[in-house]
Every structure is written in structure tokens, then in C-alpha cells.
Amino acid sequence: MRMVVLTKGVPDFREGKVSFDEDGHLERGKTPTVMNPNDKTALRAALQTKVKHGGDVSLMSMGPPGYAEILQEGMDDVYADDLYLLSDREMGAADTWATAMTVSTGLEQLDETPDLIFAGFKTADGETGHTGPQTKWCLDINEEMPDYPLITHVVALDVDEDAGTVRAKRLVEGDVSEIETIEADLPAFVVTDPEFEANYRRAEHRLRHKDFRDETQRRAAEFGEYLADDSEMEPTEFEEFTMWNHEGLNLDPDFIGLDGSPTIVAGVDPIPKAPSEREATMIDPEDDEGMAEVFEELNQYAAGD
């Protein structure tokens, strides 16, 4: 089973990490870049497939050379056998379409045609959810690549290798209230839902999962040595890391990056601040009448029958 998981670096929006200026604009320079959290779910789905059916999991991204760290994060936190970074100035400022074009070419470039391609449910910054499906379209128009049925909002996944099929549970309307089970032929393109949960009901699977986690953390630690600021080694010297530029991918610069992007950004709205003040009434604990009101107010919520 040859699997590829697609990912992207995004600002770390977690409290304490993210930085906004006074107008509510993201301060990109002050906010660290991390692997898109939804893509880790996709990576977990790939790892589950590897645990149960074997195979290799590659993690691929398009971005500046610094994204090697994003790939290393995925390798460390979840799993990856090897890493691919599509990186070139010509690829810069790409919209989802130009990204999909580039990524699909990267997928074509692999020695072996992927049986399963995984993408996460939208990125934390763009939030379009386009890149995965558009990559699948780009593969469809690529004569060299097979057609991949697209399965989105996947919450559970199982592969039948003998039958050459994948069976998935998916949210019909993106809502947990309605789940359908579908089956598709391999190869297939899977977009995991954030609700996806890996499922290991056999001890052998959990043991193998543990082995793989140990292996990937060792591998990531080794790659980390190549990435260290004071390292004398180039990241590309790491055996499990491959970087391709536009020439390596044989891509016409007119079709990628800013030039290949039909999207026009009309404007950017600052993120509205959350209402910071709640409606509050101050009560002095010494004030019996006030405390009686507090009791009245809370009593209705108190448990007990």
C-alpha cells in the first residue's frame, strides 16, 4: 500500500502562540508556523492503514524550504516513512488551484503511483477546503495518473486489499448526526474529517502502532539534527527527505505560484475580537442579601433529584 498525505504549514493559532496587532491583523513574523492540525488527522488515517495493511506513508507539502520543519513535525507527532517538499520561489503566493497543480505534479513524480492519497479537512488559515479536492481534479486531467474517486468527511476507514477497495464511514452533511458507509475502488483520494478516529481493536495492531511510533520518532530526531541551526549538514542530505523545485517537477512557471493563480484576493478583514467583557454582577461575600441572590440564581442549575 503506497500512501501519501498532503499537508501545509499554518500559523499556530493556539492561545499563547498566535500574535495579532492592534487592528486584529495576524503578525505573521511573530507567530510560529506549525503543521495544519487537520492534516495530522489525515496522517493518523494513513498510519492506521499502514498498521493494518502495511505499506509506506509519505508526507508531502509545498512551501518554503523552512517547511522541512513542518514535515518533521508530522513525522515526529504522527508518522512518516519519508518526506517530500515542493519548494521554489516560482511556487510562491499560489492560490489553491496553483497549489493543486503543483502538488499533483509532485504526486506524479513519485516512483510508485499512490494507492491512497490523504488530505485533511481544510487548513487553519485559508479554510477553503479546496486544495485536496482540486488536487484530485488535477490528477484526473493528468494523463499519466489514474482517476481517484474522492471520499470526503471520512470518520472511519478500512481497506480490503484482496478486493482492491476502500470502505469508509463519512458524514453526509458534514454532521455527525448522519453517517453513511461507502465503498470505492483503489486507488482513492480521502479527505478526513476532524471527527476521524483511528480504531485499533487488536493487540497486534496496537503493538505495531507502538513500534511505528518509536521508529518515526527516532527518524524525526535524526532529521532534526540536519535541521538544527548549527548543523553542518543540508536537510536534503537526509535520506528520507526529498526536495523538488519547479525544474525537478518539470512545471511551467506560468502555471504555478502567483502567475498560475486565478484567485483574486479582494481584501482581508481583521479577525473580530471576541467580546471580552461578560455581563457580571459583583457580590460581596459578606453581603447576605447578595449571596442569597447568587444562591437563587445557581440553585436552578444544581444537580440532584
Partner 1 sequence: MTEHEHYEAVVVGAGPGGAAAAATLAQHGVETLVLERGVDAGSKNVSGGLIYAEESAPYTIDQLFPGFREEAAERPVEEYYIHNIAGEKVETFDLHDIHHHDTEWCDAVLRRKMDSWLAERVHEMTRETGGGLLTGVRANGLLREGGKIVGVTLDELDPITADVVIAADGVNSELARGAGLMDWEEPEDWFQGVKAVVDMPPEAITERFDIDDDEGVAHLFSGDLFEGVRGGGFLYTNEDSLSIGTVFHLDSLSAQRAEPHELLDSLLTHPLLDQWFQGEYHEREYSAKLVPDSKKVANPSPHRGRLLLVGDAAGQMQAQGPIIKGMNHAVTAGGLAAEAFAEAKSRGNEKAAGTLYQQKLEDEGVMDQLRPTRYRATRFVSESDVVNSVGSSLLDSAVGAAGIKLFDGLLEKSFNSPFVLGMIPDTKLSYVTVPTRIAEVLGDPVYDENDVEPPALDDRIGDLTYDVDDPHIEVLDNSFEASGTAVTACPVSAEGFGGGCYREETVKTNGTEEKKVSLDTQPCVECGTCAVVADTHWEHPSGGKGVEFKQG
Question: Where along the sequence are the contacts to partner 1 (CB under 8 A)?
Answer: 200-204, 206-207, 210-211
CB of 176 to partner 1, least distance (A): 20
Minimum CB–partner distance for residue 133 and partner 1 (Å):
35
How far, in Å, CA of 302 to CA of 285, rounded?
Answer: 20
Q: How far is CA 107 from CA 27, 60, 142, 280, in A?
A: 33, 9, 11, 56
**How far apart are CB 232 and partner 1 at their closest, in Å?**
34
CB-facing half-sphere around the CA of 286: CA atoms within 13 A: 0
Q: Distance (Å, rounded) from C-alpha 120 to C-alpha 249?
A: 24
Which one, 28 or 206, has the nearer CB to partner 1?
A: 206
CA angle in degrees (0–180, nearest 5) for 168-171-177: 130
| Nearest CA among 41, 108, 74 for reference residue 240 | 74
Of 8 and 52, the one with the shorter C-beta distance to partner 1 is 52
Instruction: Please say which residue, 89 or 295, places its beta carbon nearer to partner 1.
Output: 295
**Mapping DSSP to helix (H, G, I), strand (E, B) and coil, where does residue 82 land?**
strand
Distance CA 60, CA 119 (A): 10
Helix axes 131-140, 96-109, angle to 10 degrees: 50
Instruction: Supply the minimum distance, in Å, between the C-beta of residue 78 and partner 1.
Output: 18
**Rounded to whole angstroms, how far apart are CA atoms 305 and 33?**
50
Minimum distance from CB of 200 to partner 1 (Å)? Answer: 8
Shortest distance, position 54 Cβ to partner 1, whole Å: 17
Instruction: Please say which residue, 169 or 205, places its beta carbon nearer to partner 1.
Output: 205
Nearer to partner 1 among residue 176 and residue 207 (C-beta): 207
Which is closer to partner 1, CB of 182 or CB of 221? 221
